[in-house]
Amino acid sequence: MFLKLFRGTGPGVVLLIVLAAAAIWTSAFIHPHFASTLLYDLNPMPLYGLLKSILGKSAIAGVLFSFVLLVAVSFLLVNFNTTVFFINERTFLPAIIYILFTGVFPDYQILNPLLPAVLLLMVAIRRMIEAYRKNGTAYNFFDAAMLISTGSLFYANLIWFGLLTIIGIAILRTWNVKEILLAILGLATPVIITAGIWYVAGRDMQQLLYLANYNLFEKTGTYYFSRISVTGLIIIGLCGLISLWFLLSVINGKKIKSRKTFIELIWVLVISLTVYFVLPSVSVEIIYIISVPLSFIIAHYFIFSRKIVLPEIFFSLFFIIVIVLQVIYII
């Protein structure tokens, strides 16, 4: 029932997704607050610090800004598939699935650096895919690396996704030293510009190094999972594994560009999980990035699975658990 409502492609589905997003973020609007105990909020990276100063001390302004970014990212996912057409069907499912993911941890539905970082990461991935079969040197990887590096000035750990540019070259192109150097230069450019502005402004350069080191390697607070959130994660994990297995079973039958796009997205998932389990500075906020590839992979499974009942069960349970989490958080 729930899944069938969101499988359409008409304007009514767009309105339904926006209304669902508002419902899934209800607790954030009722109880707006700041993430004062998290690393990226205690000592924010330069662009996130600038964003915080612009929005001021209004928690609700931060929630509204994040909600607008959430909707933008969700429909950017849809537009990405519409442009590249790697799922092989026009669908709004990636948008609603991504929004559902953001409802798993209601206490992170606040102003945070992940959403602007994810927005830049999505544009970067799109730029890399556009390099497929491009004649001559593809400067797309410079653009993509620069976008990822700029995103790291909001959320420092996005810098590890700079590896995607090298992986993208390996997947989409023949090995080209010039393109690899361009990718490295793209990663360095925003950092160099930021350091230059920091120096000209008379700020302490040691403070800039401290911010980067603090946000990349300092241990963040421990997140305590509730029973309902653990239940939700188990369902998501099971659905994700089944969806990934389904994708891998049919991926060789897809068109080359579609196959390469999915492989690039799988690498996003691999890097996300790696930084979560390896780096002490990364906590459950990484779900904003992990859910990007998972939204596409799960949407692909929901659309093409011959077992109609199972996707409906997974989606309905996911939706219900997120709503329950919102109610509990509000109470």
| Tokens (6 digits) for 155 | 């959320």
pLDDT tens, 192-236? 999 999 999 988 899 999 999 999 999 887 788 888 889 989 999
Lowest mean pLDDT among 36-45, 151-160, 318-327: 36-45
Lowest mean pLDDT among 110-124, 181-195, 307-321: 307-321
pLDDT value, residue 10: 79
Q: Per-residue pLDDT for 191 more than 90?
A: yes
302 HSE (CA, 13 A, CB side): 29
> Please, what is the average pLDDT of the chain?
92
pLDDT value, residue 35: 66
pLDDT value, residue 1: 63
Q: How many CB atoms within 10 Å of residue 4?
A: 10
Rounded average pLDDT over 6-17: 86
CA distances from 119 to 66, 114, 122, 188, 272 (A): 11, 9, 5, 20, 15
Q: How confident is the model at residue 267 (pLDDT cuts 50, 70, 90)?
A: very high
Lowest mean pLDDT among 49-63, 71-85, 270-284, 292-306: 49-63
Q: Output 194 or 308, whichever has higher pLDDT.
A: 194
pLDDT value, residue 314: 92
What length does the chain have?
Answer: 331
Please tell me the distance from the alpha carbon of residue 123 to that of residue 132, in angstroms, as a whole number: 15
Please tell me the distance from the alpha carbon of residue 121 to that of residue 221, in angstroms, as a whole number: 25
Q: Output 121 or 308, whichever has higher pLDDT.
A: 121
Q: Which of 116, 128, 180 is nearest to 153 (CA)?
A: 116
End-to-end CA distance of the chain: 28
Q: Which residue is it, tokens 């980067």? A: 212
Please tell me the distance from the alpha carbon of residue 257 to that of residue 74, in angstroms, as a whole number: 22
Residues contacting 233, CB < 8 A, separation 6+: 104, 225
8 A C-beta contact, residue 302 and residue 93: yes
Most confident of 7-11, 39-43, 146-150: 146-150
Q: Per-residue pLDDT for 57 more than 70?
A: yes
Q: At what angle are helices 59-84 and 93-102 packed, to 10 degrees?
A: 150
Q: Which of 159, 136, 128, 151 is nearest to 261 (CA)?
A: 128
Q: How confident is the model at residue 97 (pLDDT cuts 50, 70, 90)?
A: very high
pLDDT value, residue 37: 73
pLDDT value, residue 36: 65
Residues contacting 329, CB < 8 A, separation 6+: 27, 31, 106, 107
| Tokens (6 digits) for 259 | 């196959």
Q: Which of 242, 197, 233 is nearest to 317 (CA)?
A: 233
Q: Per-residue pLDDT for 157 more than 80?
A: yes
8 A C-beta contact, residue 164 and residue 141: no
Domain boundary assignment for the chain = 2-125+221-330
